[in-house]
Amino acid sequence: MSRKKGRTQLPQVMLARFEEMGLDLDQFVPALLSYPTPSFRINPLKGEQESVLESLSVIEPEPVGWNRLVFRANPGEVKLGNLLEHFLGQIYVQDTSSTIPVTVLDPQPGEEILDMAAAPGSKTTQIAAAMDNKGLLLANEVSAKRTASLTGNLDRCGVINAVVTNQPGQVYGHLAPERFDRILLDAPCSSEGTLSRNLRGLDIWSENSIKRLAKLQGNLILSAYYSLRPGGLMVYSTCTFAPEENEGTVTRLLEKFPDAVIEPIELQGINGRPGFPEWRDKTFHPSARNILRLFPHEHDGEGFCIAKIRKPSSTVTETAKPDKRLPSKHRPGRGDAKPIEKEETGIVKKTLASLEERFGIRPESFEDFHLFIRKNDVWCSTQEAGEVQFPRITRRGLRIARAFEHSVRFTTNAVQLFGHLVTRNRIELDEQKTRLFLAGKTQDVEQPQDASDGFVAAFNSDCALGIGLLKEGKLKSQVPRSRRVIG
């Protein structure tokens, strides 16, 4: 870890609270304000673990122990976010602590899972990968501004089983009672554990803000518990140390539902502490000791708290009361797409025929998926994600093509996910040409005999990069601006 800031940057009130928690400030504060070792997670939806690790051998990946897909690295001057593997969605740059909540949640293929506070998508994409892109993943985000980062990461990681909604998490208790097999509530918090990368949180940090957040978290955890099916599992997590937001929130749940079970968390390679039994004048529920606390001077990662909560019995006898400040009705958002079955839609049929003619992708390759249109865009999702109806759906699945009057353009995100099916109009790029392509440039290429002018799929060593427009020996990259890699 490298030193970033000094202790004097932190408010005295915050330091006093850390001392009350029994922390040695001389060890804790420098670690809190230092960057943890860079780390990443392999995305099995986009790449085989063995081949990805082989291509990343130069950054010396080291497994963390608790999750076979998570690694610390030694990138030197190389930025992990500029690597080809990151562009392709084969890896996700993520702090090691941030990967633990989903590891504890242990999602399974075919389940229905709710990520109640999903942006920016680090844990959402991790859930989708564990589900093998099967079943239904409802990714909710209350902030419309933060939804853009969420959908961008879903696209890059090739997620097709996700449905994104944009509404307060408090509504799910009465909107979808006892529906979900598993729920992740990575709650909005005071973010004390992430000060190594973001000191802006200090501008709004105060003990009053902790009290306000604890009240919000209490409402969210109750809503999530109502939405969890009997026997289901919920993980509650924060990136803060405040006991009010961790043990306090879990205790509020147990006061409402005494039969809720806070299960111990046992993971290899993690040096954590149990939850606090009390804080100031508040004694917490004894089960809150099963919370896992991570401190940066003891664990090479950001500060985190994680609770593993099992719901043993039904809550249908209770009335899930919505937050009184929320709108009484939740109308579908303007972006809510009504699914249109592929056999009933001319645009979908035209798209499938064009993909076969241009790229050799057989229409039956999409038989297990749900295809539908929004305007002139063709989208692909799992059957479960395509059929589910919720208020304020902003998108579902992955956009795979855009239909024009005389042609169809495969999207870069779709080519990266389904590139292994492409048999025609492929063009191979070397390392230098690949860098130009990722930067969105136009370049001269040697046109293969079997590649005609028009849209082509660009590859680097059998890795599908994206779509390019080929004309008379010039290749114009169609990589979206938001995904271009400069440098």
Binding residues: 117-123, 141, 186
The Cα–Cα gap between 124 and 204 comes to 27
Contact 187/237 with Cβ under 8 angstroms?
yes
Q: Tell me the binding residues for S-adenosyl-L-methionine.
A: 117-123, 141, 186
Name the catalytic one among 189, 239, 305, 463: 239
Is 157 designated active site? no
In whole angstroms, give the CA distance from residue 356 to residue 408. Answer: 11
SS3 assignment, position 97: helix
Quote the CA–CA distance of 322 and 222 in Å, as a whole number. Answer: 10
218: which 2 tokens? 């209490």
Place of tokens 């993690």: 270
3-state secondary structure of 86: helix
User: Kind of pairing, strands 34-35 and 228-238?
Assistant: unpaired
Going 81 to 100 to 127 to 307, the CA torsion angle's sign is negative
What distances in angstroms separate CA 321 from CA 324, 325, 428, one per listed residue?
Answer: 8, 11, 58
* CA gyration radius, the chain: 24
Question: Residue 75: left (phi > 0), alpha (psi -120 to 50), or beta?
Answer: alpha
Distance CA 310, CA 398 (A): 32
Alpha helices in 243-382 (DSSP H): 247-256, 346-359
Matching residue, tokens 């968390």: 265
**Catalytic residue numbers?**
239
